[in-house]
Amino acid sequence: LPALIQDYPGLRYRFGGEQAERSDSLQSLFFNFIIALFAIYVLLAVPFKSYTQPLVVMSAIPFGIIGAVWGHLIMGLDLALLSVFGIVALSGVVVNDSLVLLTFYNQLRNEDMPRAEALVEAGAQRFRPILLTSLTTFFGLLPMILEKSVQAQFLIPMAVSLGFGILFATFIILLGVPVAMKMLEDVQEFFGRLGEEETAEGDVAVAPATGS
């Protein structure tokens, strides 16, 4: 097509049929995906009563997408439209592990456990539930992933996105979420101390001078 346009400057082209329908579907899916992410954030922010902790929970979503892509490479599959459907569905599932971990961490913090100890304890206590939840989901999807019948071929990319995305994100969550939470609270503590110092300096500046 570029060569034809170069030879015929007035030439115009557009994609139609299945290609046009696929493009429209992807645009609609991307828009709905943004809405879904916003809904997930709101649903997490309400129980956590925090604007930042939901972002830590949702940080698992990019790792799930990476796992979905690697799953297609391992299985020798091309990314298809149903692969994208699986990635969108994966975004709502992969946050569950982070949610389980952070909920228990907040519970320990409410019991006045020190931050570092609470992170270690939450990771240790929730390691088995998180791992078992992800493994059972993956092995539940495995028969569909390995299915050879013609009828199941169009569903396999979606199953691969879900299965491998969850499996990959789980191991990242167990290490990455505690680290991200530690970094977040360190930043909040730093800005908190900075605000206290500025307030203290302001109080000194406006203090009335005493006569001799």
The DSSP code for 150 is G
CB 48 within 8 A of CB 119: no
| Rounded-to-integer distance, Cα 114 and Cα 120, Å | 10
- Inform me whether the pLDDT recorded for 100 exceeds 80: yes
- The pLDDT of 104-133, averaged and rounded, is 88
- Predicted confidence (pLDDT) per residue in 29-68, tens digit: 788 888 988 988 998 888 888 888 888 888 888 988 999 9
CB 100 within 8 A of CB 130: yes
- Inform me whether the pLDDT recorded for 206 exceeds 60: no
- Inform me whether the pLDDT recorded for 212 exceeds 50: no
Determine the straight-line distance between the first and last CA of the chain, rounded to whole angstroms.
Answer: 90
| Rounded-to-integer distance, Cα 162 and Cα 119, Å | 28
- Inform me whether the pLDDT recorded for 81 exceeds 70: yes
Alpha carbon distances (Å) from 121 to 44, 107, 143, 175: 22, 11, 35, 13
Phi-psi bin for 80: left (phi > 0), alpha (psi -120 to 50), beta? Answer: beta
pTM, two decimal places: 0.74
CB 40 within 8 A of CB 49: no
- Inform me whether the pLDDT recorded for 24 exceeds 80: no
- Inform me whether the pLDDT recorded for 73 exceeds 90: yes
